[in-house]
């Protein structure tokens, strides 16, 4: 009896040590099989019927992990309503991990899975989160990811036109280049106008920085037009198109043949304010296949010399930050040369530099354009979501319409 208790105690101790030791790396969630795509399931589009979740794991021992899926409101808060919990079909248990090649020393295991499947379903149209957790201790969360599930009940039409900033005269003329985005639709008779909530616009993969046009809170820039019956047009003005993203391509093992490398092999980044860049991945990344012996991690140093008139702090953002401006990605100043070293797996990444204020790790006054430029010719994807407060299952924020429009036609 004592021996069995000792074995159980050692097993629990081992599991706790493992949990403290585990790190999730290079996690991406994308539509179907295209790595750089937006994380979306569109039940009305045969080419976007599932999402793929893929990541590496650094851990001394093979871990036991679950992936738990939760339905969320428009602000990404998971519902506590049991009718929305999708019990019995909300967890992928004890996920299968492949071992990485021996040459890869900064991670040991790899996971790749597609959803929905026989264990997991997504019955509700809206925002979803997934939680990678310890299977023995579900309260131990290693990573939280986001994606959208849409089932369109409303057919939306959208347009983009070139405009000039109306609300103010910018100090630099290039910052006055804007676009106006318009989304129009007819609400079906089966839906109630009073339950119509808002339209949300996401540029490329900036999920954390949406543009919202709320029905109950229109503004001078973001408002809607109603014909008094069931036809609506939601309009967003003064949207800056920005520039194409910068890229670092670490796939060449001849050029990047050491552990410590520079993001730009042959130079230092400077301001792109007056330089139109070439085509990018619209915020995505494409990594070396995990089975490749060179699917390794590098310490990548980003170097940037900013103009003397820019006094704000500069931050590095990209697919590796989920396009969030984070305090830990603030560039360090070394006698006028800004630099930051980031661990990245071999691949190609979109990234850019933004200025912002950092007060006790609170980020504010974000400027996406002063270092990168602002051009009408920039090719962006705009994802447009229409939200409706449905009374189903006790009530939830439902996406009843979705449209993607690309600004490349401009």
pLDDT at residue 8 tops 70: no
pLDDT at residue 145 tops 90: yes
Closest CA to 280 of 168, 151, 379, 400: 379
d(CA 202, CA 194): 24
Closest CA to 276 of 310, 245, 239, 307: 245
Kindly list the domain boundaries of the chain, sorted by start residue.
Answer: 2-150, 157-242+377-409, 246-367
Residue 127: phi, psi to the nearest 5?
Answer: -95, 140
pLDDT score for 19? 56
Cα-based angle 324, 291, 104 (whole degrees, multiple of 5): 70
pLDDT score for 336? 85
Q: In the 8-state DSSP scheme, what is residue 90?
A: B
pLDDT at residue 326 tops 70: yes
Q: Read out DSSP for 303-323? A: EE---TT--SEEEEEEGGGTT
Query: In whole angstroms, how large is the CA radius of gyration of the chain?
Result: 23
pLDDT score for 2? 44
Question: 299 forms bridges with which residues in the sheet?
Answer: 260, 343
Q: Which fold has domain 2-150?
A: Immunoglobulin-like (2.60.40)
pLDDT tens, residue by residue, 32-89: 999 999 999 999 999 999 999 999 999 999 999 999 999 999 999 999 999 999 999 9
The stretch 261-289 carries a mean pLDDT of 95
CB 251 within 8 A of CB 346: yes
Are both 2-150 and 246-367 of the same fold?
A: yes
Q: In the 8-state DSSP scheme, what is residue 124?
A: S
CATH number of 246-367: 2.60.40
pLDDT at residue 10 tops 50: no
pLDDT at residue 232 tops 90: yes
Closest CA to 55 of 130, 117, 107, 13: 107
pLDDT score for 168? 81
CATH number, domain 157-242+377-409, options 2.60.40, 3.40.50, 3.30.450, 1.10.150: 2.60.40
The stretch 387-397 carries a mean pLDDT of 97
Q: In the 8-state DSSP scheme, what is residue 64?
A: -
Calculate what percentage of the chain has a pLDDT beyond 90: 91
pLDDT score for 409? 65
d(CA 302, CA 350): 13
Give the 3-state secondary structure of residue 369. coil
The stretch 363-382 carries a mean pLDDT of 97
Q: How confident is the model at residue 4 (pLDDT cuts 50, 70, 90)?
A: very low
Report the range of poorest mean pLDDT among 12-16, 219-223, 328-332, 348-352. 12-16
If you search the block for the tokens 């999402």, which residue do you land on?
A: 51
The stretch 342-368 carries a mean pLDDT of 97
pLDDT score for 12? 43
The stretch 325-350 carries a mean pLDDT of 96
pLDDT at residue 17 tops 70: no
Contacts of 398 (CB under 8 A, 6+ apart): 124, 125, 126, 387, 388, 389, 390, 392
Edge-to-edge order in the sheet of strand 98-99: 23-31, 51-58, 109-115, 98-99
d(CA 17, CA 136): 12
CB 379 within 8 A of CB 182: no
Distances (CA, A) of 45 to 133, 208, 333: 31, 25, 47
pLDDT score for 167? 76
């Amino acid at each position: 009896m004592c021996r069995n208790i000792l074995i159980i105690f050692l097993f629990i101790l081992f599991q706790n040590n493992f949990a403290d030791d585990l790190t999730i790396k290079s996690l991406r969630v994308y539509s179907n099989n295209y790595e750089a795509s937006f994380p979306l399931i569109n039940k009305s589009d045969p080419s976007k019927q599932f999402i793929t979740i893929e990541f590496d794991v650094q851990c001394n021992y093979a871990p036991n992990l679950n992936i738990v899926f939760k339905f969320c409101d428009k602000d990404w808060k998971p519902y506590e309503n049991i009718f929305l919990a999708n019990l019995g079909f909300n967890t992928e248990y004890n996920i299968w991990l492949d071992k990485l090649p021996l040459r890869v020393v900064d991670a040991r295991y790899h996971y790749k899975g597609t959803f929905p499947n026989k264990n997991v379903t997504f019955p509700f149209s809206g925002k979803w989160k997934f939680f990678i957790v310890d299977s023995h201790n579900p309260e131990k969360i290693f990573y939280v990811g986001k994606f959208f599930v849409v089932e369109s009940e409303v057919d939306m039409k959208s347009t983009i036109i070139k405009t000039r900033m109306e609300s103010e005269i910018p100090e630099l003329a290039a910052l006055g280049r804007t676009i106006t985005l318009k989304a129009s639709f007819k609400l079906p008779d089966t839906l109630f106008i009073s339950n119509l909530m808002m339209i949300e616009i996401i540029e490329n993969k900036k999920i954390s920085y949406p543009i919202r046009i709320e029905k109950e809170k229109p503004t001078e820039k973001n408002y809607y037009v109603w014909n008094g019956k069931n036809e609506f047009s939601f309009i967003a003005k003064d949207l800056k198109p920005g520039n194409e993203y910068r890229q670092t391509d670490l796939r060449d093992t001849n050029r990047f043949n050491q552990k410590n490398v520079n993001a730009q092999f042959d130079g230092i980044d400077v301001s792109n304010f007056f330089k139109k860049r070439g085509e990018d991945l619209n915020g995505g990344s494409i990594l070396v296949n995990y089975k490749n012996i060179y699917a390794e991690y590098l310490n990548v140093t980003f170097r940037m010399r900013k103009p003397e008139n820019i006094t704000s702090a500069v931050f590095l953002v990209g697919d590796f930050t989920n396009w969030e401006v984070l305090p830990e990605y603030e560039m360090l100043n070394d006698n006028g040369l800004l630099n930051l070293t980031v661990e990245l797996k071999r691949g190609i990444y979109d990234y850019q530099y933004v200025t912002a204020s950092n007060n006790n790790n609170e980020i504010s006054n974000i400027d996406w354009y002063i270092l990168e430029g602002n051009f009408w010719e920039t090719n962006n994807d705009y994802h447009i979501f229409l939200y409706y407060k449905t009374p189903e299952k006790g009530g939830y924020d439902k996406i009843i319409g979705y449209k993607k429009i690309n600004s490349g036609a401009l």
